[in-house]
Amino acid sequence: MAPKLHKMDYSPPCRFVYLTAEALGIKLDYSEIDLKKLDQLDPAFLKLNPQHTIPTLEDDGKVIWDSHAISVYLFTKYAKDDSLYPKDLYKRAVVDQRFHFNSGTVFYLLRHIVRLMKYKGVKTISQELIDESIQAYEFLEKFLDGHQWIAGDQLTLADFCLLTSTTSLDVLVPINASKFPNVTAWIKRGQQLPYYHVNQKGLDDFRNVIKTLLA
C-alpha cells in the first residue's frame, strides 16, 4: 500500500514533500485536507496528528508530520543513493542547517504574513516584515555564492524545501533580480527540474489565495 499524504496543494511544506516523492519516484496516495471546511480539526485527523498540521504522512501504521521529517523519512526508506541527503557528516549538516533556516526564517515569515492577512484582515505588508523578507533573500544569496544549489554543488532536499517556501514568499515580497542574481538563477535552475510542475501547480493556487485575501 502506498504511503498516504494528507495535503493541500497551495501549502509550501506539502509541495516540498511532492518534490521529494517525485525525485525519488515514489507514488503517494493523496488525501485532500480542506482548511476552509476545517478538515484539519476533524476528530479522525486530530487522532493522527494532534497538532493538526499538513502535510501528515501515514505509512504502515506509522504517522509522521512536518515536511522536513517526512521528506527525510521517505528519502531514508526509498532512496537508491545518498545524493539528495548526503551521508557525509558535514554535507548533511549543511542540508540540516538549511532545513532550520527554512522553518525558522523563510517559511516562518511566509506563514506569519499570510496569517495576518487571513485572520487579521491585513491588506498591506509592514515595512518591518518586508525588511525581514529581504534579509532572508540576502542570506540565500550568500548561501548560493559560488554554488549551483542551496547546500553546495549538488541538488539536495534543502533545495526542495527552500524552493517551495522562497517562490511563495516571492509572491508576497517580490525578489529583486538585479539585487539577488544568485537567488534568481537558482530558482530558474529549479524550474528546469523535470518534476518542478508539482511545485508550480500549488504555487499558482497560492498566488490565487493571496489575490483573494487582498481583494
C-alpha grid cell for residue 27?
507514488
Active site residue 31: no
The type of residue at 158 is A
Which residues touch 153 (CB under 8 Å, ≥6 apart)?
A: 147
Q: What is the Cα–Cα distance from 28 to 18, expressed in whole angstroms?
A: 9
Q: Which of 11, 67, 71, 168 is catalytic?
A: 11
Answer whether 107's CB lies under 8 Å from 12's CB.
Answer: yes
Residue with cell 504502515: 60
120-123-38-7 Cα dihedral, nearest 10 degrees:
-130
Phi, psi of 29 (to 5 degrees): -95, 115
Looking at the annotation, which residues are catalytic? 11
